[in-house]
Amino acid sequence: MREIYAEIITIGDEILYGQILDTNSQWISQQLDDIGVKVRRKYSISDQSEVIKTAVNESLAQSDLVFVTGGLGPTKDDLTKHSLAAMFEMPLELNQSALEDVEDIFKRFGKELTEINRQQAFLPKGSTKITNERGTAPGMWFDRDKKVVVSMPGVPFEMKAMMTKTILPKIKKRFQLPVIIHKVIRTIGIGESWLSEEIARWENALPTHLALAYLPGKAQVRLRLTGVGEEREVLEAEMEEQVAALLPTIQSYVYGFGDLEIEEAVGELLRAKSLTIATAESCTGGYLAHKITSVSGSSDYYTGSVIAYQNEVKIQELNVSPKTIEKHGAVSEETAKEMAEGIRKKLNVDLGISLTGIAGPDGGTEEKPVGMVWMAISFGGTVKTRKIQSPGTRILNIEYSGVKALDFIRQTLIEA
Amino acid sequence: MREIYAEIITIGDEILYGQILDTNSQWISQQLDDIGVKVRRKYSISDQSEVIKTAVNESLAQSDLVFVTGGLGPTKDDLTKHSLAAMFEMPLELNQSALEDVEDIFKRFGKELTEINRQQAFLPKGSTKITNERGTAPGMWFDRDKKVVVSMPGVPFEMKAMMTKTILPKIKKRFQLPVIIHKVIRTIGIGESWLSEEIARWENALPTHLALAYLPGKAQVRLRLTGVGEEREVLEAEMEEQVAALLPTIQSYVYGFGDLEIEEAVGELLRAKSLTIATAESCTGGYLAHKITSVSGSSDYYTGSVIAYQNEVKIQELNVSPKTIEKHGAVSEETAKEMAEGIRKKLNVDLGISLTGIAGPDGGTEEKPVGMVWMAISFGGTVKTRKIQSPGTRILNIEYSGVKALDFIRQTLIEA
């Protein structure tokens, strides 16, 4: 079976100038990926007739399917429909069904149909109308030598309804598609290059229809294994076998699969063990608590926190000894320990975690540079500590420390 | 003066398959727009040598500047460097300065340099190394018949540092660019359509070389006035006059200009008035404290916080009366008031702010729907309250509430 290729073209100067973020093409990609259509290329171009024609022509020469979004509004800077009509030599004609759709939409909102909107019911002769349930601009489907061009509005929720309801089902009927499966393994606490060395033998032995990609993030690397085959069950079984063979090598770094975030993984561990948690934060200023509580249902295990930015708050609210701060400083293993103990006792939770460090950009010294953070966990009768060095600017240091703290919690819970 | 055109190429199957959202090209577009470079086209392509070469060649034929991101990692699926080296016929050679950079990075993290990472110091002979302060892959600058190709890593914070520190200044020197001035006015607490009605008369009277854009964000709208001209001083004076004419109409919504974030504006107000602040958060789970402390120097006015997720913590740590919670509920004006009073007294600050609400997705009722949040500020002998309705999903509700709380603080301080 041969691969079916697609290209996605988003039209609009507002994308090129960075005024809006293009999220349409990601969403379309995901939908196509799910049905085994391979996206070869995406591009964003300007709202000009010649540019649009050239782009669609080029894509059509390369790929089986071309998705065009944007440039279908009623205003004069929206040129997609006219460009496609000219390119395919299909003159515009009134499409009765499209007119009824537009009239319906206007009726629904209790408005009079304007001449400008009536123009939207004119479609290239020979194209197939795609109903727009959520707006006035119909979509268009063009057949061309066994290839297909689809034109949709740029408004995301109009485009998505068209894709889901009409276009994807039509594509599945029209083309014979392969089976594509992705498996994502989420790791934390190991850099991309070390990870790649650890798994080199496994990776090199992968059959050619299975491909591995490294997707790095903040203190994390996602491994994505992509398989292409003809029978879903066979491919699924083969990939599960490969993942099972890989896991023992990197077990301690793996916190989950698919879309699972580290804060969700930590939440699942806490819930499974019926444990409660509280944070005592200095340099992260509430970021760790924010990550933990960004998970829906976190009130099952999260109680509360004290953010102790000033030393007096550490002393008064977390029971840190003034002598400890005087002797070792607020950013020290000793202070972190007392903070973790303090929050655990104060909020009567199972696990108390603390962070104290230098977020920057000021306040660093040679001994305690910007980005240096001490963390401590008070849990199960002991206090463990860890020192990390975050890599960058203030916000990054805060975020990196938060992720590292989540990993510290995860490891502590797993070892418990 | 002729226009300078650019194209942006993002490399990586993870973008084509929709596994990550490309935010790099939007950010690069914005930077180029700021210095008067026109982005003609952006595209995302696959990690294949032939595809990369064809794309860069095509862009180079069309435009003056080509920005390539991605495909520079140390693993074998990262092919950009080899493709560019082959295309420009520049064999890879060890770049001593790049080697020192990589060694530095490894030293900083106290790790041994691996062979894989050493390979990253090999660059196409004749290209110019661009230092990567935040990662191991150096960037590359290629000169080609008065045109320029720049290759950068796909990791956003590495790419951004390179652009800001090295590439944008180099471009400004290399090309003769028009004078473009942006003035950004930051508003909060008024929607885009209301704002546009308020300022319609001023906007319609703008001369053609000044353009206004509305950039909506979370509970905020930025107004960006863009002027194009030949003499900086003349244009600058003209734009300042226009801004001065606009301001009186919308004064109460304007919290700042340029890059100033609302949390920075609030920090400046607190510092100017020598006031201290603490937060008592329930539904936002530390997000407000995180925003406040994301500002460098916030320890001058920020003391600490209590995150009271559970009712017992509200009662025990914030002195909320159990009767108040019983009678009015944890999400109520009365509870919010007592929380704000409680945190102000507990941490002995000038201004205590509280939030209690339903972040969702569960826990909403008809009377208290998801997204409903009560806020209170205890300051100057009184307690003020405000109820808001956030618009969406859990994370969005948390973020929106945090911004609204910052605006509440701002208004309170301005009126004081």
Mean pLDDT across B153-179: 94
pLDDT single digits (tens) B279-293: 999 999 999 999 999
- Dist. CA B6–CA B37, nearest whole Å: 7
Specify whether A107 is located in the same domain as A15.
Answer: yes
A41: chain B residues, CB-CB within 8 Å: 16, 43-46, 51
CA distances from B173 to A33, A177, B35, B180 (A): 43, 51, 11, 15
Mean pLDDT computed over A60-88: 87
Chain A interface disruption, residue of B20, B114, B293, most A CBs within 10 A: B293
Q: What is the pLDDT of residue A107?
A: 84
The alpha carbon of residue A128 and the mean position of all alpha carbons in its chain are separated, in whole angstroms, by 34
* β A122-124/A92-94 pair status: antiparallel
Each residue's pLDDT tens digit, B385-416: 999 998 778 998 999 999 999 999 999 999 98
Same structural domain for residues A241 and A386?
no
pLDDT at site A76: 57
- In this structure, of A111-115, A116-120, A127-131, B256-260, the range with the lowest mean pLDDT score is A111-115
Same domain flag for B148 and B198: no
Both tokens assigned to B133? 């302060």
The pLDDT value recorded for residue A264 is: 98
What amino acid is encoded at A41 in this protein?
A: R
Mutate to test the interface with B, among A29, A180, A284, A307 (most CBs of B within 10 A): A307
Q: Round the CA-based radius of gyration of chain A to a whole number and report it.
A: 28
What pLDDT score was predicted for residue B77? Answer: 61
Q: How far is the CA of A228 from the CAs of A1, A38, A209, A211, B15, in angstroms?
A: 11, 11, 6, 9, 18
Same structural domain for residues A165 and A19? yes
Query: Residue A285: its chain B contacts at CB < 8 A?
Result: 289-290, 292-294, 298, 302
Taking only the tens place, the pLDDT of each residue in A121-151 is: 999 999 999 999 888 889 999 999 899 999 9
The per-residue pLDDT for A75 is 63
Contact between residue A149 and residue A68 where contact means Cβ atoms under 8 Å apart: yes
pLDDT at B76: 62
**Beta strands across the sheet bearing B220-229:** B210-217, B220-229, B179-188, B254-257
Give pLDDT, residue A92: 94
Q: Is A68 exposed, middle or buried (0-12, 13-18, 19+ CB in 10 A)?
A: buried
Q: How far apart, in Å, are the Cα atoms of A268 and each of A403, B256, B283?
A: 16, 42, 20
Examine the pLDDT at A318 and tell me if it is beyond 80. yes
B16: nearest CB among A29, A302, A309: A29
Q: Are A68 and A150 in contact (CB under 8 A)?
A: yes
pLDDT in tens, B254-273: 999 998 999 999 999 999 99
| B89, B233: one domain | no
How near does any CA of chain B get to the CA of A94, in Å?
Answer: 33
Cβ–Cβ of B75/A396 closer than 8 Å?
no
Integer Cα distance of B327 and B305 in angstroms: 26
Q: Which of A33, A40, A288 sits opposite B18 (nearest CB)?
A: A33
B43 and A40: CB-CB below 8 Å? no
Q: Does pLDDT of B73 surpass 80?
A: no
Which residue of chain A is at minimal alpha-carbon distance from B281?
Answer: A304
| Residue B238 CB coordination number (10 Å) | 15
Measured between alpha carbons, how far is B384 from B405 in angstroms, rounded to an integer? 12
Each residue's pLDDT tens digit, A362-405: 889 999 999 999 999 999 999 999 999 987 789 999 999 999 99
What is the per-residue pLDDT across A150-201, written as a single tens digit (0 to 9) for each?
A: 999 988 889 999 999 999 999 999 999 988 898 999 999 998 889 999 999 9
Strands (DSSP E) contained in A153-290 are 179-188, 210-217, 220-229, 254-257, 277-281
Q: Which of B43, B116, B305 sits opposite A193 (nearest CB)?
A: B116
Contacts of A27 in chain B (CB under 8 A): 18
Q: Are residues B187 and B162 in the same domain?
A: no
B243: distance to nearest CA of chain A, Å?
A: 21
The pLDDT value recorded for residue A108 is 79
Strand partners, B69: B10, B152
Query: Which of A279, A274, A249 is closest to A354 using CA atoms?
Result: A279
| b (16+ CB within 10 A) / e for B31-52 | bbbebbbbbbbbbbbbbbeebb
- Determine, for residues B304 and A310 on separate chains, whether the beta-carbon distance falls below 8 Å: yes
Q: Which sign, positive or negative, has the C-alpha torsion B59, B62, B63, B64?
A: positive
Yes or no: say if B343 and B318 are a contact pair by the CB < 8 Å rule.
Answer: yes
Choosing from B257, B286, B306, the residue where a domain stops is B257
pLDDT at A152: 96
**Which CATH number is B159's domain given?**
3.40.980.10
| CA pair distance B206, A329, nearest whole angstrom | 58
**Together in a domain, B142 and B187:** no
B140 and B249: one domain? no
Distance CA A38, CA A36 (A): 6
CA distance B240 to B99: 48
DSSP state of A166: I
The answer, yes or no, to whether the previous bond of A361 is cis (omega within 30 of 0) is yes
Using CA atoms, how far apart are residues A408 and A355, in angstroms rounded to an integer? 11
The lowest-confidence range among B79-83, B138-142, B217-221 is B217-221
Per-residue model confidence as pLDDT tens digits over A218-257: 889 999 999 988 899 999 999 999 999 999 999 999 999 9
Residue B411 CA, chain-centre distance (Å), reads 23
The per-residue pLDDT of chain A, averaged, comes to: 93
- In three-state secondary structure terms, B405 is helix
Q: Note the helical H segments in B124-278.
A: 156-162, 168-174, 192-198, 200-204, 232-250, 262-272
Predicted pLDDT at B32: 95
- The reported pLDDT for the residue numbered B187 is 97
Give how far Cα B175 sits from Cα of A127, B3, B36, Å. Answer: 46, 10, 10
* pLDDT for res A168: 97
> Cβ distance B335 to B372 under 8 Å?
no
Residue A255's CB is within 10 A of a number of other CB atoms, namely: 24
Four-residue CA torsion sign, A116, A122, A127, A128: positive
| pLDDT on residue B245 | 97
Q: Whole domain around residue A196: which residue ranges?
A: 179-257
A133 to chain B, minimum CA–CA distance in Å? 22
**In terms of domains, do A128 and A191 share one?**
no
Predicted local distance difference test score (pLDDT) of residue B306:
98
Residue A93 has which token pair? 């004609």
**Averaged pLDDT, A31-41:** 91
- Predicted pLDDT of residue B4: 94
Residue at B95: amino acid letter: N
pLDDT digits (tens, 9 = 90+) for B309-345: 999 999 999 999 999 999 999 999 999 999 999 999 9
Selection from A325, A43, A143 nearest residue B11 by Cα? A43
Give the residue among A357, A393, A367, A414 at the shortest CA–CA distance from A189: A414
> What pLDDT sits at residue B217?
80
H or E segment to which residue A193 belongs: helix A192-198
Confidence band for A54, pLDDT divided at 50, 70 and 90:
very high
**Three-class DSSP category at A188:** strand
Report, as an integer, the average pLDDT of B57-78.
87
Question: What is the Cα–Cα distance from A280 to A375, expressed in whole angstroms?
Answer: 10
pLDDT for residue A77: 58
For CA atoms B48, A179, A223, A67, give the dihedral sign: positive
Nearest to B43 by CA among A87, A357, A339, A7: A7
Amino acid identity for residue A197 in this structure: E
Q: Average model confidence (pLDDT) for chain B?
A: 93
Q: Number of structural domains, chain B?
A: 3
pLDDT at A119: 87
Q: Which of A90-94, B142-146, B192-196, B359-363 has the lowest mean pLDDT?
A: B192-196
Note the pLDDT of residue B193: 79
Our measurement of the distance from residue B352's CA atom to the centroid of its chain's CA atoms, rounded to an integer in Å, reads: 27
Q: Are residues A249 and A183 in the same domain?
A: yes
Residue A212 · residue A224 · CB < 8 Å: yes
- What are the distances in angstroms from CA A249 to CA A197, A223, A246, B236, B311? 11, 13, 6, 61, 44
CATH number at residue B230: 3.30.70.2860
- What are residue B378's DSSP bridge partners? B352, B383
Span B163-189, mean pLDDT? 94
Which pLDDT score is estimated for B127? 96
The whole-angstrom distance between B62's CA and the closest CA on chain A is 12
Q: Do A144 and A17 share a structural domain?
A: yes
Give the residue from B125, B142, B174 where a domain finishes: B174
User: Residue B183 — pLDDT band, cuts 50, 70, 90?
Assistant: very high
Q: Which two tokens stand for residue A353?
A: 């975690």
Helix and strand element counts for chain A (H, E): 17, 17
A127: tokens are 């194209």
Q: Contact at 8 Å (CB) between B331 and B368?
A: yes
- Percent of chain A scored above 70 by pLDDT? 99
User: Å from B263 to nearest chain A CA?
Assistant: 13
Beta partners for residue A376, in sequence order = A354, A385
List A6's β-bridge partners, or say none: A39, A65
Residues A234, A341 within the same domain: no
User: Which residue, A132, A155, A174, sits at the end of a domain?
Assistant: A174
